[in-house]
Structure 1
């Protein structure tokens, strides 16, 4: 099977690891991993990287994600969702649809958000949910996150639920938005349902459920695979001739004047670094000019003015 990315539509009560295990068995490829964990109660888009596509996962941290969420007003839990232990129930009497729409405006743009105590955020080398399960109190500091889009889709004034779409930066907790909305209204709130509908360039189009995947053969699965360079559009794009491509894939630096730059890196990410300490302003996807073959990912050594390999993703 070729290397690529499979979009899974994760059902509720499945873990992300469960989905990867099904992909591994169905594809027969041992090297398989997922991008962007979904909690078991959440549904929706889970990209699974198969074969050499797993090598690009470290470059995906800059992507925004989109969710369809339903918040339940009048109830507060220890996990900020309805699957947790109820801490308090308050009256929703007197709250109007106008009140809800007004308070929702507080969560647009760059906001300060307190992560849930049942979350994977690390404090002093330990995850918050580990402190919570041990009954230990620890100081949780607010974090700055960005909500680029927030659109109310439905307000049910009988059930006191609010359904909304949200596009947000990595590290944003939609549970916290539900909780904070309830606090702003004075009645409390918790997340009742969550479905991820997009992650970066990935959408649910042509997604497959784990149950469907179990019935598919390798050929059918391969038809669903996305090219592994698809989610790397925020990086620059460079091309080189066939003879330079062989040299590059052997681990050698290519002089910058021998490179054709087809796209510069996305300016909004240029002050950030990947896990190897490379500035995103210097990172490029690399292709062979004649065939268009994706060779891997390179970075520009500014001092020597050469393009060096960061990850080789094709055989020489």
Structure 2
């Protein structure tokens, strides 16, 4: 489901990996109002439906503005965060539930509007800090609108100054690595 930019470090460049991970990220995608899933994305079936028709365009703009700045966010259960040395998604797959502590994140820009084709879908673009979970942002956004929501599409558009539109595709990367190392 997730697409877009991934910075791959090879050889001596691996020493820079941490600096890339700490950079501001840019994402775009789609939230679907009125439906929730256990993973907060489209990778699992809908488990909850709530009315969403009451949500007005002004409500969407107001809610988006309330998420900008420093906020606290609870990561999703289906995440790679380790608790007790084990990744959360492993616990979640076994049906275990662990209360995760909220983490401070920053939302620098959050633009969102209704899809013209399907008013239940919201198209978004967000610029955020390291550690932001877009699935959590989506679920929290649905709650702020008095309904539920899940993520149906996600693309990482940027990492710092690096843009997905300027990146190599996998085939180009594979060819470059082969030429450089073999």
Is the shorter-chain TM-score for this pair beyond 0.5, marking a shared fold?
yes
Task: Give the aligned length.
Answer: 179
Change (3 A) 1:217 1:78: closer
Provide the rounded CA distance (Å) in 2 between the counterparts of 1:139 and 1:92.
Answer: 28
- Name the structure 2 match of 1:170: 130
- Name the structure 2 match of 1:100: 60
For 2:51, which of 81, 91, 109 is the aligned residue? 91
- Name the structure 1 match of 2:157: 197
- Name the structure 1 match of 2:114: 155
Which sections of structure 1, spanning at least 5 residues, go unmatched? 1-40, 223-316
- Name the structure 2 match of 1:117: 77
Change (3 A) 1:92 1:201: same
- Deviation track 1:154-198 (CA, whole Å, cap 9, x = no partner) reads 312633111111111111001111111111112210011110111
SS of the equivalent of 1:46 reads coil
Q: How far off is 1:217 after superposition?
A: 6.2
- Structure label with greater radius of gyration: 1
TM norm structure 1? 0.53
Q: Say if 2:95 is the partner of 1:135.
A: yes
Change (3 A) 1:143 1:210: same
| More RCO (CA 8 Å, sep 6+) | 2
- Deviation track 1:17-66 (CA, whole Å, cap 9, x = no partner) reads xxxxxxxxxxxxxxxxxxxxxxxx21000111222111222333431111
Runs of 4+, deviation exceeding 6 Å: none
- Name the structure 2 match of 1:181: 141
- Name the structure 2 match of 1:60: 20
Change (3 A) 1:56 1:97: same
Provide the rounded CA distance (Å) in 1 between the counterparts of 2:105 and 2:68.
Answer: 10
Q: How does 1:12-27 map to 2 (within 5 A)?
A: none
Change (3 A) 1:53 1:155: same
SS of the equivalent of 1:112 reads strand
Provide the rounded CA distance (Å) in 2 between the counterparts of 1:58 and 1:95.
Answer: 40
Provide the rounded CA distance (Å) in 2 between the counterparts of 1:53 and 1:129.
Answer: 30
- Name the structure 1 match of 2:37: 77
TM norm structure 2? 0.88
- Deviation track 1:257-279 (CA, whole Å, cap 9, x = no partner) reads xxxxxxxxxxxxxxxxxxxxxxx
**Contact residue 157 and residue 165 of structure 2 kept, 8 A:** no
Provide the rounded CA distance (Å) in 2 between the counterparts of 1:81 and 1:99.
Answer: 22
- Deviation track 1:193-238 (CA, whole Å, cap 9, x = no partner) reads 1101110221124322224556x4669x77xxxxxxxxxxxxxxxx
Provide the rounded CA distance (Å) in 1 between the counterparts of 2:110 and 2:64.
Answer: 8
CA RMSD of aligned residues (A): 2.0
Change (3 A) 1:197 1:217: closer
Provide the rounded CA distance (Å) in 2 between the counterparts of 1:177 and 1:164.
Answer: 11
